[in-house]
Amino acid sequence: MIFRLLLYIGVLGIGMLIGIYNMAHPKLDQALGKLQILTLIGLLFVMGIRLGADKMVVSSLSTIGFQAFMLAFGSIAFSVLFVFLGRQILKLDRRGRAK
């Protein structure tokens, strides 16, 4: 957990430094958006493979799938609602800027 956290912060930090000091090749800079989409698609595909290949996920889907779906939906719905209420209290607009 700690190693992973440090790795993510490290990689993100290196990227930010490259961005701040314009150290990337201009061509790479231009392609950044496309590269992000391609890596993202690949990542989601492999994540999907892991889910589909996971016997525990697939076999438990039919028995506890409904309960799990309800719990996940409840957590998501109320966390979105609570953040929405917090944003109203702090008077921030949809994009998170002060009104």
Partner 1 sequence: MTWIIMLSVIIGTLTGYLFFPSHWYDFTGLVIDIGLCLLLLFVGMDIGKQKNTLLEIKKIGLGILAVPLMIGLGSIFGALVFGHFVGLNYNESGAIGAGFGWYTLSAIMLVDYSSEISALAFLTNVIREVMAILMLPLIAKYIGHYEAVAPCGATAMDTTLPIIARYTTPKVAIVGFVSGVVLSSLVPLLVPIIINL
User: Of residues 58-77, which lie at the interface with partner 1 (CB under 8 A)?
Assistant: 58, 60-61, 64-77
In eight-state DSSP terms, residue 91 is T
Is residue 9 helix, strand or coil? helix
CB of 65 to partner 1, least distance (A): 7
Number of residues that bind partner 1 (CB under 8 A): 74
CA distance 5 to 2: 5
Residue 6 interacting with partner 1 (CB under 8 A): no
Choosing from 3, 26, 27, 50, the residue that interacts with partner 1 (CB under 8 A) is: 50
Give how far the C-alpha of residue 24 lies from the chain's centroid of Cα atoms, to the nearest Å.
Answer: 24
State the nearest-atom distance from the C-beta of 27 to partner 1, in Å. 13
Q: Is 30 in the site for partner 1 (CB under 8 A)?
A: no
Position among 1, 26, 91, 99 found at the interface with partner 1 (CB under 8 A):
1
Q: How far is CA 85 from the centre of its chain?
A: 22
83 Cβ neighbours under 8 A, 6+ residues apart: none
Any contact of residue 51 with partner 1 (CB under 8 A)?
yes
